[in-house]
Amino acid sequence: LSHCYWVGITCTTNGYVMGIEMESRNLKGQLPYELGKISTLKDIILNNNELTGNIPVELGNLEHLEQLYLFENDITGDLPDDKGVCTLIPLKSLDVLWVDCDKVNCPSFPSICCTKCGKEGIDPVKISGPDTSTDNNTSSGGGGESGESGEITEVDKELRAQQIQLRLEDISFPITTSQTRLSALEWITDSDPMKLPADAPLLVDRYILTLFYYALDGENWLIEEGETMWLTELSHCYWVGVTCKIGGDNDVMSIDLESRNLKGRLPYEIGKMSSLKLLILNDNALTGTIPVEFGKLDNLVNLYLYNNDMDGDLIDDKGVCVLRTPNQALSELWVDCDKLKCPPSPSTCCTKCGKDGTAPELSPGPPNTGGGSESSGPTTGDG
């Protein structure tokens, strides 16, 4: 028979191998480097076996690889960030690299080459990894300062704080006359265990998410046991509800906080998260209007804001409605049409209304109060 009929093999219609799935099949030995020559491979699922050796560097040639499951084996060695399978991350093909992080030495943060660890699929940042201790080891945990981190002078700290504020003033204005924004700034500069420098690519998204937390009563969000709370030492890419691009600058791609007890007005700074594709905030207690700055989110695909207390007008030629014009990405804008005033037909700005997802033309509009247009700038974000 054709190899396409062999157990565990999936092929394209032309007979090219797309997948090898041999989970729990008693495989033993080292992976042959020649696997890296099967250029059409998308999935390699080999977990729960007795594989040994290293992950062949040649697997970095698999530019279409999307999933690589190697956990629950005896594979060891280093995964360098700049060669081998880790190079598939910047190419945006590899979504899941699941290994035994206590045996395989994954690159340290900010790299997120490895996406899951061990049988339970734990976040790599929560795993100590193989014992590679050296004299230069540093800790990101809650212990006391040591090494060079304890030698930072007050002058250095003040200079860093000034540089961070200067950079973030391009995002928030005015940053120091709004208590919510000031709280976010102070957390980033003084309390954030990551202690990012002012030029860190992660800084802007981390600040905006911190502002989001303070503006929407983050202390009272509904977080389930085992979920990662916000404002922790972990990368914000691991905070509950947040998803980031793999590789590059780890830009935030989605925020999904449905039914989490969010309260308050959306900060307009969300409109600066240019990679955002999904914003799922339905079934909360949000108030105010949809910031006009959301119209700058050129990659936004879904915006769910129904079952909240938001109001105001949505104007067809500005704000989020411009994302519903031809050649724009937004496919779904789901709001409470009895509170938010959607543009009338033939506009297609709003796509669904209320909890039931009723078509806008079948949903009653809000009472005519003569006001409540979309707001902009520093009027949003503070309760």
Q: What are the pLDDT digits (tens) for 187-237?
A: 999 999 988 899 888 899 999 999 999 999 999 999 988 888 999 988 898
> Which tokens go with 355?
């909890």
DSSP secondary structure letter of residue 374 = P
DSSP string, 177-220: SSHHHHHHHHIIIII-TT---TT-TTHHHHHHHHHHHHHTTGGG
Please report the sign of the dihedral spanned by the C-alpha atoms of residue 314, residue 316, residue 317, residue 320: positive
> HSE-up of 100 (CA within 13 Å, CB side)?
21
CA distance 187 to 200: 16
Number of other CB atoms surrounding residue 366 within 10 Å: 16
The pLDDT of residue 247 is 60
Rounded CA gap, 272 and 276, in Å? 9
**pLDDT tens series, the chain, 383 aa:** 889 889 999 888 788 999 999 999 999 999 999 999 999 999 999 999 999 999 999 999 998 898 899 999 999 998 887 788 888 875 557 878 899 988 998 877 556 688 888 888 887 765 544 544 444 433 333 333 333 444 557 778 888 899 999 999 889 877 877 899 999 999 999 999 988 899 888 899 999 999 999 999 999 999 988 888 999 988 898 899 999 886 656 789 999 999 999 999 999 999 999 999 999 999 999 999 999 999 999 999 999 999 999 999 998 788 999 998 877 889 999 999 999 998 887 778 999 999 999 888 765 666 554 444 444 454 444 54
- What's this model's pTM, rounded to 2 decimal places? 0.60
Q: What's the confidence (pLDDT) of residue 374?
A: 45
Q: Which helix (H) or strand (E) holds 168?
A: helix 154-168
Closest CA to 289 of 256, 336, 331: 336
Q: Quick one: pLDDT at residue 140? A: 33
Structure tokens belonging to residue 165: 């504020």
